[in-house]
């Protein structure tokens, strides 16, 4: 669901972190614990590895010390802001095959884009690259795919091109996304300004979402819990 997914979708070249979305249950956490033990993983930050924190939306962070995965970081979450529950993510997952028979279940691109709309600076250029890579890689899109590009592209030139290529669809969506109106008029400055407004609004919503979760972590730090421990 993170950097490794972006690599598979063609939006990134390398990532040292593996971000995993899981269905939070006691049974799943035991399976995950067994896998982390095989990787000689240690928890490197708060919160603790406990079901209650996954259910409240926290990420739990690990670092691997197995020789074949030395220093690889693993971040695990179950709930994400603005993203559907895990069961729906699983139904929409994209499967990639690498190395002949290695199968990877990856969050669908639309879900990954939604998960990337955070307050972190690095996520917004990544959204742009992911959409651009998808656009270039699909010369004959379905109407659903074209609508996805129109609603999510963060590249002014691409948005203008899309409104020219799919005028009827763009016209039907411009009341939902204001940037499309500027793109339809060929107003690059207007598109830029609207994209900036969209990003600022999402960053602020994300900041407020994490504010309470950060306060919980501060309380845990006040309890003096050890930040690094074996799984």
pLDDT digits 0-9 by tens, 18-64? 999 999 999 999 999 999 999 999 999 999 999 999 999 999 999 99
Q: Is residue 157 part of a domain?
A: yes
Residue-level length of the chain: 231
- The HSE-up count of residue 143 (CA atoms within 13 Å, CB side) is 6
Element (H, E) at 81: none
Q: Count of domains in the chain?
A: 2
What pLDDT does 14 receive?
82
> Do 128 and 200 sit in the same domain of this protein?
yes
Buried (b) or exposed (e) across 182-205, using 16+ Cβ within 10 A?
bbbeebeebbeebbeebbeebbee
Contact between 143 and 162 under an 8 Å Cβ cutoff? The reply is no
Shared-domain flag, residues 29 and 103: yes
- pLDDT under 70: residue ranges of the chain: 225-230
Are 101 and 25 found together in one domain? yes
What is the per-residue pLDDT for 231?
73
User: What's the confidence (pLDDT) of residue 99?
Assistant: 77
Q: Which range marks the domain in which residue 9 is found?
A: 3-108
Tell me whether residue 138 is in a domain: yes
């Amino acid at each position: 669901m993170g950097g490794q997914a972006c690599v598979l979708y063609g939006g990134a070249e390398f990532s040292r972190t593996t971000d995993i979305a899981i269905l939070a249950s006691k049974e799943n956490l035991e399976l995950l614990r067994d896998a982390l033990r095989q990787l000689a993983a240690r928890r490197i930050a708060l919160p603790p590895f406990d079901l209650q924190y996954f259910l409240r939306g926290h990420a739990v962070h690990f670092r691997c010390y197995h020789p074949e995965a030395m220093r690889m970081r693993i971040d695990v979450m179950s709930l994400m802001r603005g993203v559907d529950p895990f069961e729906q993510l699983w139904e929409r997952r994209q499967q990639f095959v690498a190395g002949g028979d290695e199968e990877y279940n990856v969050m669908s691109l639309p879900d990954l884009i939604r998960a990337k709309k955070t307050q972190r600076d690095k996520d917004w250029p990544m959204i742009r690259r992911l959409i651009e890579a998808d656009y270039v890689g699909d010369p004959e899109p379905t109407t659903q795919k074209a609508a996805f590009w129109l609603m999510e592209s963060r590249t002014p030139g691409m948005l203008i091109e899309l409104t020219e290529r799919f005028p009827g669809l763009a016209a039907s969506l411009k009341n939902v996304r204001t940037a499309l109106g500027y793109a339809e008029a060929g107003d690059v400055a207007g598109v830029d300004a609207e994209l900036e407004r969209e990003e600022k609004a999402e960053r602020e919503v994300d900041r407020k979402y994490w504010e309470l979760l950060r306060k919980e972590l501060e309380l845990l730090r006040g309890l003096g819990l050890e930040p690094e421990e074996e799984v």
